[in-house]
């Protein structure tokens, strides 16, 4: 996540460092505080989610499986962020060695790609359930969905293999910086692929999310007296929440990263613009990490089974009164 967003913005740093005094440490304190807060919120939230999925869910459907794998992706982030917090506290100095640098950045990158993939899968599932209720995709079995999940993980991991095969520990004087870029005189082909994936994996799913949101909202508008109207309204809320989380978390890093590439290509000696875009990028990093903390909200909005299991669990602990909706069986089908 941070590593990927840093790819694009930091390419400009490699080019302009001959002319500009960089501000690479700006925002480190802010970043550290936000990462710690997100860990405090995200770890218990996702731990509860795993417990609900593994021990409280009575029935599993394809969209439930997609949400569960979103939880798994979030734990890759939770395992990796403490090392980024440590590096941030040391002004980016990495003390854990070359091998763990590669693994750490690989896990962060896989988290980002897998989160995007499974958010998109949940949204597309909702889209077909509502807009094309008789489509054959709506009859996908749990076994077939498992094969799709396996394919998604295979593609995500394969596209991030360059991070495990490339030297990512960069020496800046006496300081070791762990980044998924380096001071390349010529960017290696595998890293170029890495950059392209970073851009495409945001914009293509983002357009899919916007299209699905628009079509589901349109379907709601035309179902004034339809018995499925309540179901469509819930699906609309779920897709809108996913789209908002996706946009808030991933767009700032992409925009500032592309801004860094633009400065590098067209204004390599404009130090003011370079330092501004670098600072903006540093401020965007917390938004990228935020997806792990916000994903439990997606689980609640996207699955009534998860929501009811959560209410039931808290009810047994005496925190809330349980009241399962009578139309729950209909809602569970979307």
Nearest residue to 104 (alpha-carbon basis) of 171, 179, 158: 179
Nearest residue to 197 (alpha-carbon basis) of 185, 209, 187, 205: 205
Separation between Cα atoms, residue 281 and residue 251, nearest integer Å: 11
Rounded to the nearest integer, the mean pLDDT of the chain is 79
Nearest residue to 209 (alpha-carbon basis) of 266, 319, 124, 85: 124
Residues 65-88 have a mean pLDDT of 89
What kind of fold does domain 2-331 have according to CATH?
A: Rhopdopsin 7-helix transmembrane proteins (1.20.1070)
Kindly tell me if the per-residue pLDDT of 103 is higher than 60: yes
Residues 213-242 have a mean pLDDT of 75
Separation between Cα atoms, residue 311 and residue 299, nearest integer Å: 13
Query: 170 φ, ψ to 5°?
Result: -105, 130
Q: What pLDDT, in 10s, does the model give residues 186-211? A: 567 777 777 788 889 999 999 999 99
pLDDT value for 329: 41
Residues 131-136 have a mean pLDDT of 85
In sequence order, which residues have a C-beta less than 8 Å from that of residue 76 and are 6 or more positions away? 107, 108, 110, 111, 114
pLDDT value for 319: 54
| pTM beyond 0.85, yes or no | no
Q: What pLDDT, in 10s, does the model give residues 81-98? A: 899 889 888 888 899 988
Every domain of the chain and the residues it spans? 2-331
Specify the range with the lowest mean pLDDT, choosing from 101-110, 190-199, 314-323.
Answer: 314-323
Separation between Cα atoms, residue 113 and residue 72, nearest integer Å: 12
């Amino acid at each position: 996540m941070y590593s990927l967003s840093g790819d694009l913005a930091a390419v400009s740093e490699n080019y302009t460092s001959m002319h500009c005094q960089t501000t690479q440490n700006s925002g480190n304190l802010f970043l550290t505080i936000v990462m710690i807060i997100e860990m405090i919120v995200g770890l218990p939230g996702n731990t509860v989610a795993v417990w609900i999925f593994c021990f409280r869910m009575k029935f599993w459907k394809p969209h439930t499986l997609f949400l569960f794998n979103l939880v798994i992706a979030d734990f890759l982030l939770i395992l990796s962020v403490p090392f980024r917090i440590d590096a941030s506290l040391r002004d980016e100095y990495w003390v854990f060695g070359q091998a763990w640098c590669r693994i750490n950045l690989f896990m962060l990158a896989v988290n980002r790609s897998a989160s995007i993939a499974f958010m998109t899968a949940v949204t597309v599932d909702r889209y077909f359930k509502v807009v094309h209720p008789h489509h054959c995709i709506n009859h996908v079995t749990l076994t077939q969905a498992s094969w799709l999940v396996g394919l998604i993980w295979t593609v995500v991991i394969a596209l991030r293999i360059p991070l495990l095969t490339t030297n990512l520990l960069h020496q800046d004087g006496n300081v070791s910086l762990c980044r998924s870029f380096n001071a390349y005189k010529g960017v290696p082909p595998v890293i170029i692929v890495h950059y392209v994936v970073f851009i495409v994996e945001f914009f293509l799913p983002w357009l899919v999310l916007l299209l699905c949101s628009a079509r589901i909202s349109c379907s709601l508008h035309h179902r004034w007296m339809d018995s499925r109207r309540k179901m469509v309204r819930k699906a609309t809320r779920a897709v809108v929440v996913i789209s908002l989380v996706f946009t808030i978390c991933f767009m700032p890093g992409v925009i500032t990263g592309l801004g860094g590439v633009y400065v590098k290509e067209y204004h390599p000696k404009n130090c003011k613009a370079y330092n501004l875009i670098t600072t903006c990028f540093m401020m965007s990093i917390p938004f990228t990490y935020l997806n792990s903390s916000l994903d439990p909200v997606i689980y609640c909005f996207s699955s009534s089974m998860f929501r009811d299991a959560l209410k039931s669990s808290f009810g047994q602990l005496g925190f809330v009164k349980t009241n399962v909706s009578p139309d729950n069986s209909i809602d569970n089908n979307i």
